[in-house]
Amino acid sequence: MAEDQSTRDRVRALVRDVLKNAVPADELEHVSGASETPRARVVPMVSESPAAAEPAFARDESSKTVITEDDVRGLEDGARLRVAEGARLTPLAADIVRERRIELVRRTPRRGSRAEKIVAVGADHGGYPMKEELKKLLIELGHRVHDFGTNSTDAVDYPDFAHAVARSVSEGGADLGIIIDGAGVGSCMTANKVPGVRAAACYSVKVAKNSREHNDANVLTLGSGTITSAEMREIVSAWLSTEITEERHKKRVAKIEAVERQYRS
């Protein structure tokens, strides 16, 4: 037990050290020796045409708040790396970016309940009817929808559709994702296996808001057998209109990402 506690203490200390020394992407040019590094440019979060949705980025790490040396290692000189708006770089990552003159392109998220977002949606056979209602709601709210199926009530396997939605969010094809199955639990488990995804199974407006404000959830899972259509509309509307803003919450999300990196192969 003492050894386990010692290991946990070392991990906590390591995370604190990483966050303390991380360099904001926008401040790289002000770091000693970084004058030759290209300034990070702001680009639209998504493109209007499908053909333009695949920009010439060598790598997309925009789902992360902290960029480590593992995220930039292997990039060629002058490569373009997409990062989140408020992303921070560890000292070693910043060194690699400077030395290889890597261009950082910031992904600027849309903000507020009225800002248009691309929302990836998916469901199994049990969630299909509610998914169709969800799509209408999203359009009413002014968002764009990418439907990954299923397209009927014929029996299917929920992990297939949860994976498709989560991968779209992870790779930047969608801003957010919403998945519906019978209980919302299995899809949540599946989505959270995808790097960069923070999925939350929500059954109330309060939990939905908390998952965004405190945990920066980028995928919402719902159970068609546990909520009504009216509750679905309230939960989704609250989830989409809530943003993470406080630094104390952002630091805790960064710790979630640090845990994920420990187990990355």
Closest to 211 in 3D by CA, of 262, 170, 258, 256: 256
How many Cβ atoms are within 10 Å of 156's Cβ, its own excluded? 18
Tokens 């009530």 correspond to 153
Catalytic residue numbers, as ranges:
214
The burial of 115, by beta-carbon neighbours within 10 Å (0-12 exposed, 13-18 middle, 19 or more buried), is given as: middle
Contact indicator for 69, 102 with CB cutoff of 8 Å: no
